[in-house]
Structure 1
Amino acid sequence: MSNQSDLKTIGFTPFLYNANEAFFNVRAGIPIIDALSQSSDLLYLAKSFAEDAAYAKDTDRHAWAAHYLTVMGKALIDDVIQALLPRPARTKTESEEELPVSK
């Protein structure tokens, strides 16, 4: 496994969809410690907005703010997890297996 300080986001994880099409993706190349720190901040704010939403019955803006912050925080964590998982070994495809061995 790589040195964890060298690990970066892979930029795979999409978030905020419309008709099965992602509006945004996590950017590749962000150090995972920074991604996790940002995710912690986003989720802390989401928690605060969710608490506000529980008491503010005249508007849903706090609930929607909590929703979007949670989606962004989760995407960051999911992308970090992908960066931490070991990559599976590549296997030959059927067409590659049928190729003659060059001498």
Structure 2
Amino acid sequence: MSTPDTPCTLGQTVFYQGENHTHALFRFEPGIPCQHAREQASELMGYARDLTLEGLMEDKPKLIWAAHYLCALGKALLDDAELGMMR
């Protein structure tokens, strides 16, 4: 639960996919406490790291693509948390 003094996500960061990044795939909801958003982004980045290593060691490109999307999700979450903290 956020309080008026707790910085929260603004819900402005959009992850785009497709040619020329024209298709909005997802956006975060405003009001997520930034500390929680950062913790979740850290978790996502850890999973992406694990998938990347496994994908490279076992020659499984699908795992590397999954890691790519997890990284994009984590980055978008961090970006939106940063916007909330600068407010």
Taking structure 1 as the reference length, the TM-score comes to 0.73
The structure 1 segments of at least 4 consecutive aligned residues displaced by more than 2 Å after TM superposition are: none
Secondary structure of 1:34's counterpart equals helix
**RMSD value, Cα:** 1.4
Identity %: 32
Task: Map 1:43-62 onto structure 2 (within 5 A).
Answer: 43-57=45-59, 59-62=60-63
Partner of 1:97: none
Unaligned segments of structure 1, at least 5 residues: 87-103
Partner of 1:17: 17
Greater relative CO, 1 or 2 (CA 8 Å, sep 6+) = 2
Q: Deviations over 1:58-79 (max 9, x none)?
A: x311101110110000001000
Contact 1:16–1:71, Cα closer than 8 Å, also in 2? no
Is the radius of gyration larger for structure 1 or structure 2? 1
How many residues are aligned here?
82
Partner of 2:69: 68
Amino acid at match of 1:72: L
Higher helix share: 2
Partner of 2:36: 34
